[in-house]
Amino acid sequence: MNSLFFEDLGSRRVVADFSDGHISSDGGELLLRQLDRSLGLTSKLASCFSDHRTALHSVSAAYPFFSSRS
């Protein structure tokens, strides 16, 4: 089974096609990572948080925490 058919959306037919073996499942993540790198969103988000712990007792900074999802 290469295709999965869903209920039509108005006049549009909705089909999931799994016949191509060379498709990356993380294409959206790659796009978001590139967008984040160009806009610096993760850096800006991390700069909004202050870590008042001493570095000796701190496990990680804010930036790696937010960027670990990509």
Distance CA 19, CA 2 (A): 5
**Considering only 13-17, 20-24, 41-45, 49-53, which range has the smallest mean pLDDT?**
20-24
Let me know: does 19 contact 2? Beta carbons within 8 Å. Answer: yes
Average pLDDT, stretch 29-43?
A: 85
What pLDDT is recorded for position 45?
A: 86
Residue 63 burial by CB count (10 A; 0-12/13-18/19+): exposed, middle or buried?
Answer: middle
What pLDDT is recorded for position 17?
A: 79
**Considering only 1-5, 31-35, 63-67, which range has the smallest mean pLDDT?**
63-67
Strands (E), the chain: 3-5, 15-17
What pLDDT is recorded for position 11?
A: 92
pLDDT at 38 over 60: yes
